[in-house]
């Protein structure tokens, strides 16, 4: 058993022998519990570590383009472009985006997102509604008025 000191921010250093024995790495998480007057730290495995996906040189280039486009979409939707289907597929394989959400990142979908964002910023929308019935009534009213 090794004695450790509690630091000013309630931090403790795990002795190297224990750290190695439990195969811990910097950044790993531990669960901390008080148990019968003791502090028990239990390593947490939040996700299984899987080997990185092997990508061809062409796929690696597509992934770099995808990463840059995704970053731009997140930063400024109106001044961005969506991914090609190939870029979306590679980004999903690499875990950059959710596989079932590939469609959202494609240029076809992003074109609509940019239009919606432009309408929102230009205040070209009908507003919010308390119910579907209220929304339908407003749409019927506008259709009759020719707006």
Domain boundaries, the chain: 1-45, 57-121
Let me know: does 12 contact 6? Beta carbons within 8 Å.
Answer: yes
Q: For the segment 67-76, what is each residue's pLDDT rounded down to a tens digit?
A: 999 999 999 9
Three-state secondary-structure class, residue 39? strand
Per-residue DSSP letters for 25-55?
-TT-EEEEEEETTEEEEEEE--S---PPPP-
Question: What are the backbone angles phi and psi of residue 82, rounded to the nearest 5°?
Answer: -80, 175
Q: For the segment 79-109, what is each residue's pLDDT rounded down to a tens digit?
A: 999 999 999 999 999 989 999 999 999 999 9
Give the residue carrying structure tokens 């309630």. Answer: 10
Q: Which CATH architecture has domain 1-45?
A: Ribbon (2.10)
Kindly tell me if the per-residue pLDDT of 147 is higher than 80: no
Band of residue 46 on the pLDDT scale cut at 50, 70, 90: low
Q: What is the pTM of this model?
A: 0.56
């Amino acid at each position: 058993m090794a004695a450790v000191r509690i630091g000013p921010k309630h931090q403790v250093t795990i002795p190297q022998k224990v750290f190695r024995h439990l195969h811990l790495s910097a950044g790993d998480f531990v669960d901390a519990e008080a148990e019968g007057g003791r502090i028990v730290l239990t390593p947490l495995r939040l996700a299984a570590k899987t080997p990185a996906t092997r990508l061809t040189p062409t796929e690696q280039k597509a992934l770099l383009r995808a990463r840059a486009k995704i970053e731009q979409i997140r930063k400024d939707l109106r001044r961005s472009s969506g991914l090609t289907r190939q870029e979306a597929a590679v980004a999903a394989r690499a875990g950059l985006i959710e596989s079932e959400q590939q469609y959202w990142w494609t240029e076809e979908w992003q074109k609509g997102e940019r239009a919606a964002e432009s309408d929102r910023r230009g205040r070209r929308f009908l507003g919010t509604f308390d119910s579907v019935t209220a929304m339908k009534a407003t749409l019927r009213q506008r259709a009759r008025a020719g707006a």
